[in-house]
Structure 1
Amino acid sequence: MIFYEPHARDTELLPHDPFKALIAPRPIGWVSTMGRDGSVNLAPYSFFNAVCDRPPMLMFSSSGMKDSPSFALETGEFVWNLPTFELREAMNATSEVLPRGESEFAHAGCETAASRLVAPPRVADSPVALECRVTQSFELVDVDGAGVDRHVVVGQVVGVWIDESYIDLRGQVDTAKLEPIARCGYTDEYAVVRELFHMKRPG
């Protein structure tokens, strides 16, 4: 076992920061937003997860105040779209930095679909989408209380879209059939869920 403090990593032994490789796989926040002026944005976030189930809530964290968090705060809404293995190339294309106002949907060849309760559109080909309303946002701070320009947006799920072909005879979503993808360690590493195992909780 080795031990190090993050600021004093042995860059010969570990030339690349392994933090993201250790916290893996991470679900991808493929977030669509709309600004007050009607501009639409679609971007993937690797710091993303569910944070509550009653009520259902999601969060994503942005490095800098990019279009996704700024649009979400302008309108108070966003949509999470499930990135699947089939949609991996489109998801990756939306990570490219484009001029403000240029549509990542068009750039990645993604069709839009209207949401029901919020203004931002969904990714039409994504089998799952969660419509969200922003409940809070804050900048992360370090142990000294200094801001680190990482902005967390939390949203409550107000609407759920599921392609019914992924619901099995038990009335449960077949996660393995969905083939969701996740971020892993380094710049180009991903995982895909194709197999599940089951364990009964004790007690």
Structure 2
Amino acid sequence: MRKDFDPSLLSSRNFYRLLTAVVVPRPIAWVSSTSAEGVDNLAPHSFFTVASVSPPIVQFTSVGEKDTLRNIRARGEFVVNLAPAGLMPEVNATGTNFPSDVSEFDAAGLTREAGRTVGVPRVVESPAALECRLHTVLPIGDCVVVFGEVTYAVVDSSILDGSHPRIDLLAPLARLGLDEWGTLGSVDELKRIRKDDWPGDFRPTDRSSDGSDP
């Protein structure tokens, strides 16, 4: 039996909590930006993904009008830093609603590193960063989707296998529902099946009676 949830009958806040509990895990865009007054901002945004391959564009959503959004509109650039599991307390701290004249870099004890193609600092402690130039700002309901064209990327050489970032060493954080956070956990490899290789007798993998993998 399932329980029904009708967004027209619930407060937006309650339905938001449901959405963020079932759309999981969500990668975190740890976005650094700089205000028109020169204050460096750093904040986590968990509505984040890739929007385009060519040109390379990433997107994140600002839920409401926040310093990050105002700064990006003012300067037209930002950096998405990877949020690693080892910095969970710092990532969480940068989500505090400090006044706009307070830099989260300083409040959370994080180190600035100059960007290569943007005038916004990267987080030294983050293993990877994407420098972005503002592409599009798209208001949707009470949120704003920010699209940024990636102009430069850096990855710590210690987590690379050749030129490929190792997911176990990246150790990305994810947001779940309520105050829950997720880490990588186990990683499985499964190649996509090409049409020419599709088996005629394909069947889903059997599951044991308790719902776990055999």
Matches within 5 A, 1:34-183: 34-141=34-141, 148=142, 150-169=143-162, 171-183=163-175
**Does residue 199 of structure 1 match 2:206?**
no
Measure the CA separation in 1 of the matches of 2:77 and 2:55: 16
> Where in structure 1 are there 5+ consecutive unaligned residues?
142-147
- Alpha-carbon shift at residue 8 of structure 1 (Å): 2.3
Assess, with a 3 A threshold, how the Cα gap between structure 1 residues 7 and 76 changes in structure 2: closer, same or farther: same
CA contact (8 A) 1:44 1:91 kept: yes
Measure the CA separation in 2 of the matches of 1:6 and 1:117: 43
- Alpha-carbon shift at residue 129 of structure 1 (Å): 0.4
- Alpha-carbon shift at residue 151 of structure 1 (Å): 1.3
Per-residue CA distance 1:127-166 (angstroms, 9 max, x = gap): 000000000002103xxxxxx2x11111010000100111
- Alpha-carbon shift at residue 96 of structure 1 (Å): 0.6
In structure 2, give the amino acid aligned to 1:197. Answer: D
CA contact (8 A) 1:179 1:194 kept: no
Measure the CA separation in 2 of the matches of 1:4 and 1:29: 29
> Where in structure 2 are there 5+ consecutive unaligned residues?
195-214
Report the counterpart of residue 204 of structure 2 in structure 1: none
Q: What is the TM-score when the length of structure 2 is the normalising length?
A: 0.84
Measure the CA separation in 2 of the matches of 1:9 and 1:36: 39
In structure 2, give the amino acid aligned to 1:5. Answer: D
CA contact (8 A) 1:84 1:179 kept: yes
Alpha carbon RMSD of aligned pairs, Å? 1.8
Measure the CA separation in 1 of the matches of 2:80 and 2:155: 12
Measure the CA separation in 2 of the matches of 1:24 and 1:82: 17
Secondary structure at 1:18's aligned position in 2?
helix
Assess, with a 3 A threshold, how the Cα gap between structure 1 residues 36 and 9 changes in structure 2: closer, same or farther: closer
Q: Percent identity?
A: 36
Report the counterpart of residue 7 of structure 1 in structure 2: 8
Measure the CA separation in 2 of the matches of 1:140 and 1:151: 6
Runs of 4+ in 1 over 3 A off after TM superposition: 14-17
CA contact (8 A) 2:7 2:15 kept: no
Asked which structure has the greater CA Rg, the reply is 2
CA contact (8 A) 1:36 1:75 kept: yes
Measure the CA separation in 1 of the matches of 2:17 and 2:40: 33
Q: Give the paired residue count.
A: 191
CA contact (8 A) 1:176 1:195 kept: no
- Alpha-carbon shift at residue 76 of structure 1 (Å): 0.6
